[in-house]
Amino acid sequence: MVPVTDEPTAPSEQTPDDQPTTERASTERSSTLPPAPWTRYVAIGDSFTEGLWDTSPSDPEQCRGWADRLAETFASRAQAAGAPDVTYANLAVRGKLLRPILVHQLPQALRLKPDLVSMIGGGNDMLRPSADPDEMARNLEDAVIRIRATGADVLLGTGVDAADSPIIKVTRGRVAVYNAHIWSIARRHGAHVLDLWGMQFIRDWRMWAEDRIHLTAEGHRRVAQGALVALGQQPDDIAWETPLEGAPAVARALRARENAQWMREHLYPWAQRRLTGRSSGDLRSAKYPDLTPVEPRDPR
């Protein structure tokens, strides 16, 4: 999770199709690209990997998200090439700190005998002033070593650059330290890195949902393309990093109303959960706890 708390136009008033986007590649491009080498993909993490605010086309109550989209692309390319079916599990649960991800989700993931594990977390930790990026990195490296010892590949992810957020930018220093550790860990152990910090399009507020904490469907789509590139694969959309066209100006009065609504509907409930020791992930379980065949879908 990477909260942003600046002053965007409320994304909830726009659907992904209404938002200005880069030219999207068709499914034909995906079908002409070679299959990825992985057939047993397991994703672990928090709300970012669970896919909040990107709903499944088959079930509006179910999250989709960048990891689902990545698995779907693997499946589309495998099917087109007549390669073995791709299976996928997503153990991510919203609100989780890094340590619970590593203590609870990682052992479950390893029991599934994956050949690829995406392990992205720490955003919730960074919101806490007591967060220690050095200790987090030590725990993360131990987890990478465990995964690599099985022969599986690992996809890590950096934190997002919150320089444009007047509140969350106070976390920028410790996020940068943690990111530096991630790159070093990846180099030492042959892991891949999803460079969220370096994705300029993510700094466009229209990529964020109305809670200003999670990505929109378009944001998740683009991150999935970035994950393909991080893994050494060709993207479906060669223009996935292209910034959106300029946003229209927002009247000050409208912006003030939007900010007040955001504080009432999102900031205060989040703060109340923190004060009472509750998490948005309490009593929730993984959406895809077992490896299951993936249905190929349009990458859009």
Q: How many CB atoms lie within 10 A of CB 113?
A: 12
Contact indicator for 52, 276 with CB cutoff of 8 Å? no
What is the pLDDT at residue 264? 64
Q: Report how far residue 168's alpha carbon sits from residue 27's, in angstroms, rounded to the nearest whole number.
A: 38
pLDDT tens sequence across 134-171: 999 999 999 999 999 999 999 999 999 988 876 778 99
Measured CA distances, 286 to 47, 50, 69, 76 (Å): 11, 8, 17, 24
Token pair, residue 162, equals 């919150």
Map residue 10 onto helix, strand or coil: coil
Q: What is the pLDDT of residue 15?
A: 43
CATH code assigned to 11-293: 3.40.50.1110
pLDDT, position 296: 87
pLDDT > 70? residue 25: no
Residue 55: which pLDDT band, with cuts at 50, 70 and 90? confident
Taking the CA atoms of the chain, what radius of gyration do you get in angstroms? 18
Per-residue pLDDT of 71-124, as tens digits, reads 999 999 999 999 999 999 999 999 999 999 999 999 999 999 999 999 999 999
Q: For the range 236-242, what are the long-range contacts, defined as Cβ-Cβ under 8 Å and sequence gap of 24 or more?
A: 236/25, 236/29, 236/30, 236/33, 236/73, 236/299, 237/22, 237/23, 237/24, 237/25, 237/299, 238/25, 239/22, 239/23, 240/22, 241/199, 241/200, 241/201, 242/22, 242/201
Q: Determine the Cα–Cα distance for residues 103 and 122; give it in Å rounded to an integer.
A: 13
- Of the pLDDT bands very low, low, confident and very high (cuts 50, 70, 90), residue 59 is confident
Q: Are 205 and 165 in contact (CB under 8 A)?
A: no
pLDDT number for residue 286: 96
The one-character DSSP state at 102 is: I
Percent of the chain as helix, strand, coil, to the nearest 5: 45, 15, 45
Q: What is the pLDDT of residues 164-220, one digit of tens each?
A: 876 778 999 999 999 999 999 999 999 999 999 999 988 887 887 667 677 889 999
Per-residue pLDDT, 262: 57
What's the pLDDT score for residue 272? 67
- Where does 150-192 have alpha helices with state H? 172-189
pLDDT in tens, 249-283: 556 665 556 556 656 655 566 666 656 665 655 56
Q: What is the pTM of this model?
A: 0.82
Beta strands 55-56 and 59-63, pairing class: antiparallel
What is the percent of the chain where pLDDT is above 90? 59
